[in-house]
Structure 1
């Protein structure tokens, strides 16, 4: 039964070869974080160590700041659909986020902190646009839940063994104040991801260049993760397959050696 995806509003075309589509999505998932790892190599650091570079007062307030930024970003991303293309071109989302990163990085940590809420809205809008491209309605509450969970993925600076896919793809049963409850639940996880971004942008000397590169990597990463997540949802519908079984098959495929 497909009850877990029935609430979606979907416009779809038949998928001819489910195995080929699943292989394509698996490949995109595997490659999603490559740019973030390259940035870490440039910085000569590890994702875990980046957070320690932040001042303690910033680290202590990161959860609350992330929750507030995500709440505001959801409103801003939804509201932008009335004025900007729907869906907006992927390259345009990337260009806007990259420019914001350059501006934030040029100002060091204070600049990066000021830029964070705006970039959060751009990233969330990019995720919503991927949902729209896969035929889902971003105005639907269920789709909005999924967009927030995609945003709480491990981030481009983490090496992932597939466990993150299971987190993103699991449907949560939330009632009464559901969106705010979900945001509160994922904020601690997302604060780690955004904390790494802030710390990378605050690296002395590199400034604007790292800010631009970091935002470029983050935008591409979240667009790829959203493409995979909503691609799996669409494949389940188009091919009349069980979504959870598709996720399990992809996770199994992640454990196989990568064929170049």
Structure 2
């Protein structure tokens, strides 16, 4: 009996459609609220001292570079450990207002990256392989919880980078502005002492949930690419993740 050649394509389309649905729903209620209040947060961010605003991207890049090495040496915190840790980190960072919020950034970025590495491991990849380490970093550029950046980077499946020192620097330089925009919103919310502790804990939890879900989708797609090929999976995901165009009469 001849094999039905349409079946693998149908199965792949269904699996990718489910992953695209999960990606679209990665934003939880807290992030949706933040996006609705985006103007207020942006005004609060612009009210921060210029020295602080210019520092955010620099600190973010430094945090990414440091956590890239530190996360590899950090033990797996289990399924609930990362959430508890980022909540505690956010609360501690916001308790003292802006100075402690800035100081908290490297800890939070490391915890985010540690959780992303755990998702790579759960999908069957070795997070210590260079190309997987690159994929872990690129989760931060695969999409963003911010409303103004609701697109998704689909040109990543199978892009197994050889991470030389310069390649890591270039990758971090490309990612840092995007992550800094997210963390800048968080810093603005944490700028008020005591109240900032609640904001920091809440936003850390929401952002961790977002990036962890994006990582699950990303590594699931990479797993499918090993079976079905890069081009087929990338095409299916781009199709499933792109909202249909609204045609007005």
TM over 0.5: yes
Question: 4+ residue stretches of structure 1 with deviation over 6 A?
Answer: none
What is the CA distance between 1:194 and its match in structure 2?
A: 1.6
State the partner residue of 2:154.
Answer: 166
Q: Distance in 2 between matches of 1:44 and 1:244?
A: 31
8 A contact 1:128–1:138 mirrored in 2 = yes
Aligned residues between the structures:
235
- Distance in 2 (alpha carbons) for counterparts of 1:37 and 1:58: 26
Q: Distance in 2 between matches of 1:231 and 1:77?
A: 21
Q: Within 5 Å, which residues of 2 pair with 1:246-257? A: 246-252=236-242, 254-255=243-244
Distance change >3 Å, CA 94–CA 175, structure 1 → 2: closer
Q: 1: CA distance between counterparts of 2:44 and 2:135? A: 28
The match for 2:86 is 97
What is the match of residue 7 of structure 1? Answer: none
Q: 1:228 aligns to what?
A: 217
Cα shift at 1:155:
3.1
Supply the distance in 1 between the matched residues of 2:27 and 2:113 (Cα, whole angstroms). Answer: 17
Picking from 130, 142, 145, the partner of 2:134 is 145
1:129 to 101, 118, 131: 118
Task: Give the conservation status (yes or no) of the 8 Å contact 1:201–1:208.
Answer: yes
1:17 & 1:256 partners in 2: Cα distance?
25
- Name which of 60, 76, 80 aligns with 1:66: 60
For residues 43 and 223 of structure 2, the distance between their equivalents in structure 1, rounded to whole angstroms, comes to: 38
Alignment of 1:5-154 (within 5 A): 17-34=11-28, 35-41=30-36, 45-46=39-40, 48-80=42-74, 84-85=75-76, 88-154=77-143
1:79-118 Cα distance to aligned partner (Å, 9 max, x none): 11xxx23xx4332211110111111111111111111101
Contact 1:100 1:115 (8 Å CA) reproduced: yes
In structure 2, relative to structure 1, the CA distance for the partners of 1:230 and 1:61 (3 Å cut) is same
* Runs of at least 5 residues in structure 1 that lack an aligned partner in the other structure: 1-13
Check whether the contact 1:232–1:246 (CA below 8 A) recurs between aligned residues: no
- Which residue in the other structure is 1:213 paired with? 202
How many Å separate the matches in 2 of 1:27 and 1:239? 20
> Secondary structure of the residue that 1:164 maps to in structure 2?
coil
SS of residue in 2 equivalent to 1:61: helix
**Bigger-Rg structure (1/2):** 2
- The alignment's C-alpha RMSD in Å is 2.8
Gaps of 5+ in 2: 1-7
User: Given the superposition, is the C-alpha separation of residues 146 and 53 from structure 1 closer, same or farther in structure 2, using an over 3 Å criterion?
Assistant: farther
TM-score (norm 2): 0.82
User: Which whole-Å CA distance do the structure 2 matches of 1:124 and 1:152 have between them?
Assistant: 13
